[in-house]
Amino acid sequence: MEDKATGSQTQHETCICRELGAHLTAMFGIGSDETWNHVRNARVEMLKAVRSIIDERIEHLSGTEHKGTKVTVE
């Protein structure tokens, strides 16, 4: 893949979000900077969603529960 800013070849890690963005842009012939910016932001948001799912699952499996505060009632 060629870096638009420098014109040099860049190596990127394999990521389903990156691949999906590349397929969508190829399918629809998208190439503007604004569109690439949206695709990049969408990839970041998808990765944040995956991180959130993993965090919730870890919390569930570790057995930590959010407990309320005891209040003395007269």
**In this structure, what token pair is assigned to residue 12?**
């990127």
In terms of pTM, does the model score above 0.85?
A: no
State the average pLDDT over residues 69-74.
83
Query: How many angstroms separate the first and last alpha carbons of the chain?
Result: 70
Q: What are phi and psi of 9, to 5 degrees?
A: -75, 135
DSSP state of 17: H
- Burial bucket for residue 21 (CB in 10 Å: 0-12, 13-18, 19+): buried
The answer to whether residue 7 scores a pLDDT higher than 60 is: no
Residue 25 to residues 4, 16, 18, 55, Cα–Cα distance (Å): 15, 14, 11, 31
Q: Where are the domains of the chain?
A: 16-62
For residue range 8-62, list pLDDT tens digits in order: 555 666 777 777 777 877 888 777 888 888 888 888 898 899 999 999 999 888 8
